[in-house]
Structure 1
């Protein structure tokens, strides 16, 4: 007992110390083709870097321009023939987040106002707690409906006009080819608290259950 108590005290002290030592991080994500996420963190002079999805040396080389052009024409012909065989055109109320959309299929869940509010609140808490040194959003972005793009542009410009000065919006067709870069400093305890608080919200729990079920089916 005399040995166990000091050991537990030291262990708790070390855990508290680790939770309250800040780490520096950079996040760079590209939402388009290909979709990538690069995470780098520095903590206790240790550097950790991860890129998702992982790339391997066995990947096939890119297609030549002629082969890519032939494949594109073939795809267009198939889509045209399939559209001609359909009995009726889709209605205006059809789901816009389809597989032909440049947006990931899971983003359709974010159209739920409660879920969107919970996720944005968690992101804003993390950004508020972070000591940001850089935050930029660049590229091209356009939602399936012009008024949705206008609302998104107003929200992004109100949050940071200087951070989105290199971001273009398209109102004639859906487009998603943008890059987000964030760099800053954060305490692990703050990050853990904010993530747990966000995940425990009912809309986020429902989203995670749906994603888990979809992953098991695949």
Structure 2
């Protein structure tokens, strides 16, 4: 019969077994959702992924960079682009419905709340979120609506409406917005998002 010390020993990664970036990112996503940015350590992520902490640092450089990369597991810019380029209803309705769907999906809801809460309370998480939005989300969305000088600003205006709605509805849970059915929120918010993305530049008041 194995000794107790042997049966309780933690089973780590075997010597020479390749380290998967995806495994580390998956562990980081779960840990950030559970503990938030400030309380999460590279050591805890490494333990969850069954790798050495030095390997996590080697792969991603810093906790901030790892946080930024893990955001891509939560908010996939391709999902938003698919909503923008679809043909089911108007562009704002598709965009808002897709965005709320990410917030309400069981496998991403907790991560979304932790991500946004961390971005508003920690300077490193804030910077990581800002760079993620600029480098991935806004670039993808502005490209989907045709690029051009105003596309990035239009995408930012639409994002401001979506992020503000999410903050009040899912993070701060302020009624009556937090109590509405999802489709009611889509109906209310979609016209504003559509206007930001499609209205004439002069009518919208965009700078020259």
Q: Same fold (TM over 0.5)?
A: no
* Structure with bigger RCO (C-alpha 8 Å, 6+ apart): 1
- Specify the TM-score bucket, using the shorter chain as the normaliser: under 0.3
- Larger radius of gyration, structure 1 or 2? 1
Q: Normalized against structure 1, the TM-score is what?
A: 0.25
